[in-house]
Amino acid sequence: MTQPTVLLLTPMLPVTRAALDDRFDLVALADAEDKEARLAKVADRVRAIAMFADGRVDGALMNRLPKLEIVSVFGVGYDGVDAAEAARRGILVTNTPDVLTDEVADTAMALTIMTVRRLGAAERYLRAGQWTAKGPFPLTPGSLVGATMGILGLGRIGRAVAARASAFGLKIAYHGRSRQDVPYAYYDSPAALAEASDILMIATPGGAETRHLVDADVLKALGSRGYLVNIGRGSTVDETALAAALEAGTIAGAGLDVFAEEPQVPEALLGRDDVVLLPHVASASLPTRTAMGQLMVDNLSAWFESGRVLTPVPETPRP
Distances (CA, A) of 288 to 100, 109, 189: 6, 17, 33
Backbone angles phi, psi at 253, to 5 degrees: 175, 175
Residues whose CB is less than 8 angstroms from the CB of residue 46 and which lie 6 or more positions away in sequence, other chains included: 5, 6, 7, 27, 65, 67, 68
Which among 245, 300, 281, 309 has a CA at the least distance from the CA of 103? 281
Tell me whether residue 123 is one of the annotated catalytic residues.
no
Backbone angles phi, psi at 49, to 5 degrees: -120, 135
Q: Residue 150 half-sphere exposure, CB side, CA atoms within 13 Å?
A: 26
Tell me whether residue 23 is one of the annotated catalytic residues.
no
Distances (CA, A) of 52 to 94, 96, 105, 133: 12, 10, 20, 46
Catalytic residue, chosen from 23, 117, 280, 315, is: 280
292 and 298 Cβ atoms separated by less than 8 Å: no
Tell me whether residue 69 is one of the annotated catalytic residues.
no
Spatial separation of the C-alpha atoms in residues 169 and 109, rounded to whole Å: 12
Catalytic residue, chosen from 103, 233, 239, 289, is: 233
> Rg for the chain (alpha carbons), in Å?
22
Catalytic residue, chosen from 123, 209, 247, 262, is: 262
76 and 314 Cβ atoms separated by less than 8 Å: no
Could you list the active site residues?
233, 262, 280
